[in-house]
Amino acid sequence: MARVLGKSLQGMLESVAKAGEPRNLERDRAHRALKRCGEEVDAGRLARAVQRALGYVPPRALPLLAERAGLTAESLLTRLEALEEIRLEPECQQRIEICSGRTCARRGGAKLIRLARGTLGVNMFETTPGQQIRLEPFRCFGQCARAPNIRMNGVIQGAMTEKRFGLLLGLLGRGKR
């Protein structure tokens, strides 16, 4: 499985590098974690710092890690896959990302973030006890016409209201018992 995961992350690395994508909150937080590492260049130590900040090492942080460690993307993935304590995927059963882009925030996304934090009892980039639900912000899904948007396990759901989102969180909460 590690080899398959590595190939999928390799594809992500290539698409991230080509896209020149806009700011990303995970990548920004990973960048800050790497800044706190000073002059460190050991890939394992750098990955652990990112994992402490985010709970795992996200694909969007890999180009930063590779550049900082002076490695190619492929050799970085090989090293990280060999380290048992490094997670390249978040440990959770449900992953909820809430768009925090300008349009979504204005149309209710900020309220959805507050609702999720209050209901789940976790902050952004954290996972509920028992690894049930991970809550993450996302800068923009590119679906502004349907704002506010959430993405649950890779599926974007637009025009999310507080009532619908509260019901969804309630259903997810029941599943953990």
Which segments of the chain does DSSP mark as H helices, in order? Answer: 2-19, 25-35, 43-54, 62-69, 73-82, 102-104, 110-120, 162-175
Do 50 and 65 contact (CB within 8 A), yes or no? yes
Distance CA 56, CA 48 (A): 8
pLDDT at 22: 52
Q: Which of 121, 89, 88, 116 is nearest to 100 (CA)?
A: 116
Distance CA 158, CA 144 (A): 9
Do 161 and 117 contact (CB within 8 A), yes or no? no
The Cβ of residue 55 has, within 10 Å, a number of other Cβ atoms equal to 18
Ranges in the chain annotated CATH 3.40.30.10: 94-175
- Which tokens is 74 given? 């492929």
Do 115 and 76 contact (CB within 8 A), yes or no? no
Q: Is the pTM of this model over 0.85?
A: no
pLDDT at 24: 73
Flag residues of the chain having pLDDT under 50. Answer: 1-6, 15-20, 176-177
- Which tokens is 111 given? 């309220």
pLDDT at 139: 85
pLDDT at 39: 92
pLDDT at 79: 93
pLDDT at 83: 93
pLDDT at 60: 85
pLDDT at 11: 52
Strands of 155-157's sheet in order across:
126-127, 133-138, 94-99, 150-152, 155-157
Q: Distances from the Cα of 59 to the Cαs of 12, 30, 40, 106, in angstroms?
A: 7, 11, 20, 28
pLDDT at 62: 92
Specify the CATH architecture of the domain 94-175. Answer: 3-Layer(aba) Sandwich (3.40)
Find where tokens 């090989």 sit.
78
Q: Tell me: the pLDDT tens digits for 85-132?
A: 999 988 888 899 999 999 999 999 999 999 999 999 999 989 998 878
Q: Distances from the Cα of 77 to the Cαs of 47, 54, 55, 113, in angstroms?
A: 11, 18, 17, 32
pLDDT at 91: 85
